[in-house]
Structure 1
């Protein structure tokens, strides 16, 4: 009439130990998954930030540059060009360009040099270009921050080349590079005929 359930304490203990072991393994798997997810999220964030930074640098190299809107030379002795003058403004779509940190690579048939801005004044020499304000609406001379701003860049070819300057027909390449890497390339060819031109007379290039 009566049934007795006989419990095996050893078997119950074994089952309990197996259950606890499974729970520990499960918790460990959850922790590992959580750590892995955190690492992936951090890595994704880092990669995104790096990609955005690289993208902005690429944009700056394309957009942050100047545009040359006029150029002429100045006649020196022996029918040579002793100075180059370039009128520059911001290129379309460019943000501000600081001419104080802009460099100009000068390349001719016999000379290669890099010029920096002469912060002491507008007079150029063998290692520096001169900068003169033509138009600057907000008195921020040195920094082109509007398409209405105009600066004149002067390059002393006589000092750079030695002697009296560039011969007739000579060719010069100028790479104007802003601090962010935006570059404008200008190729100038000296007039084929300067005979009869007076010294210090400007000539169109």
Structure 2
């Protein structure tokens, strides 16, 4: 009789242990699934840089340097929307690092009317040295079929494109010269950053320079 009681007790203990293990495994599986989903969302969301253009206003161009930057960005594939008003831009030029934020007075939308010279738009005057604002960047809307981007709330939806515009001279007190190294990142509230990393060409032969 005693042996039977011990056997039954062992069976009950084993059953309880198995139940605990199954419950724990279920919790771990849920956590792993949640972590995987979060990781995928983080990797597939965020902001991407598509190209970077610079403007050299000097005559001849060889004598000058890039004074304006246009960093073209789009939402990453998994992102529903990105508010450029809440994005921060970090740039390092000539060993000096600046953190820039959006200035709503520096906004232009050419997504429907177009432009023959994106660097000649009057809104960029608000980034000039005379206006101050050395820690500001502006936004140029280039593709926005849903009209979702306005100066006070520049929200990019999936498929939209815009450029973050920086007055290099105003921010750093100098231009980006030939063969200069520039690094940085565009950081959204959520998701992946867009990485900036280029070396300026050895020679500037046109006013508009492809940098990245």
TM-score by length of 2: 0.64
User: Gaps (5+ residues) in structure 1?
Assistant: 1-18
Secondary structure of 1:33 counterpart: helix
Per the TM alignment, residue 153 of structure 1 is displaced from its structure 2 partner at its CA by 0.6
Tell me the matched-pair count.
Answer: 177
Instruction: Confirm or deny that 1:159 pairs with 2:174.
Output: no
Q: Name the larger-Rg structure.
A: 1
Q: Distance in 2 between matches of 1:113 and 1:50?
A: 39
Q: 1:187 aligns with which of 190, 193, 197?
A: 197
Q: Distance in 1 between matches of 2:89 and 2:39?
A: 20
Structure 1 segment 1-205 matched on structure 2, within 5 A: 19=1, 21-22=2-3, 24-75=5-56, 79-91=64-76, 93-98=77-82, 99-115=84-100, 117-118=101-102, 120-122=104-106, 125-141=133-149, 142-147=154-159, 149-161=160-172, 163-193=173-203, 203-205=208-210
Higher relative contact order structure (alpha carbons within 8 Å, sequence separation ≥ 6) = 2
Q: Distance in 2 between matches of 1:127 and 1:36?
A: 61
Q: Distance in 1 between matches of 2:204 and 2:5?
A: 93
CA contact (8 A) 2:56 2:64 kept: yes
CA contact (8 A) 1:105 1:112 kept: yes
1:31-54 Cα deviation digits (max 9, x unpaired): 433432332223212222222233
1:41-96 Cα deviation digits (max 9, x unpaired): 232122222222332343234322433334322336882322211222234x3323
Q: Distance in 1 between matches of 2:78 and 2:87?
A: 14
User: Gaps (5+ residues) in structure 2?
Assistant: 107-125, 128-132
1:112-161 Cα deviation digits (max 9, x unpaired): 2443x4164436644443223222222332333322x1111112322332
Q: Distance in 1 between matches of 2:53 and 2:3?
A: 85
1:158-179 Cα deviation digits (max 9, x unpaired): 2332x24322332212323433
